[in-house]
Amino acid sequence: MIRFSLKISAVLCVMAVMAGCQTTYYKVWEQLGKEKRHLLRDHVQYARDDQEKASEEFKDALTRVKEVYGFSGGDMEAYYNRLKDDTDRCRERARGIDERIDQMDRIAKDLFKEWEYEIKAMTNENFKQQSRRSLEDTQKRYARLSRTAGAARDRMKPVLAKLNDYVLYLKHNLNAQAIGALQKEAEGIETDVDVLIADMTRSIREADAFLKDFE
């Protein structure tokens, strides 16, 4: 019965977010014992894990690209299908990360607003000063995290665009003569993926640092 109630609550949370009702989303989770700080921690972790998975998926796509321009015979259609599948996975992962970061930023904004309001309600000046220092420190650390996560997210878009061009060109030219034209593009994709992986690694490190210190 409890498990069923949790499932219903989780569904309500999703529906609330989809409907744009963030207040309802928070209220449902509060009934389950989760405050905004818990939700922020969860979404930072989710975004961090998704970026880690995305790093591997973009590496897989790059491996497929290298396989194509290293083509020396065989079933070109099979090469195309594998590359298309890897690119589709990268696109879906990027869409998920986009949503994760947006929700993460919304929760952080609402948490900090609530925190500020609660500080103003305090009457003990020592408590107020300590709470304000804690708030300001958390805001600074989150700002670093948000910047690095946003930079990695933005870096995915041009990489996905190049992969999509590569996939479509290969689809229209399933022959060995197309390999020469693809090789030059592949070198550019490799460079872009390397930079993307580096950006994601920085974002993952910032998430780890934030989660370690966030209470």
- The per-residue pLDDT for range 147-204, each reduced to its tens digit, is 999 999 999 999 999 999 988 988 888 776 667 777 777 888 889 999 999 999 999 9
Q: Cα separations (Å) of 207 from 7, 41, 100, 114?
A: 28, 10, 13, 22
The residue assigned the tokens 């998920």 is 96
pLDDT at 2 over 60: no
Contacts of 146 (CB under 8 A, 6+ apart): 101, 104, 105, 108
**Other C-beta atoms lying within 10 Å of the C-beta of residue 71:** 15
What's the pLDDT at 74?
66
What's the pLDDT at 19?
45
Which of the pair, 176 or 213, is modelled with greater confidence?
213
The residue assigned the tokens 């689809």 is 171
pLDDT at 116 over 70: yes
- As a whole number, mean pLDDT of residues 103-122 equals 96
- Res. 8 pLDDT band, cuts 50 70 90: very low
| Cα–Cα distance, 49 to 29 (Å, whole number) | 22
For 51-55, 72-76, 115-119, 134-138, which range has the lowest pLDDT when averaged over its residues?
72-76
- Res. 13 pLDDT band, cuts 50 70 90: low
- Compute the half-sphere exposure of residue 52: CA atoms within 13 Å on the CB side of its CA: 11
- Res. 65 pLDDT band, cuts 50 70 90: confident
- Res. 4 pLDDT band, cuts 50 70 90: very low
- As a whole number, mean pLDDT of residues 99-125 equals 95
Q: Residue type at 147?
A: R
**Other C-beta atoms lying within 10 Å of the C-beta of residue 214:** 14
Mean pLDDT, rounded, of the chain: 87
- As a whole number, mean pLDDT of residues 15-38 equals 79
pLDDT at 18 over 50: no
- As a whole number, mean pLDDT of residues 102-122 equals 96
- Res. 136 pLDDT band, cuts 50 70 90: very high
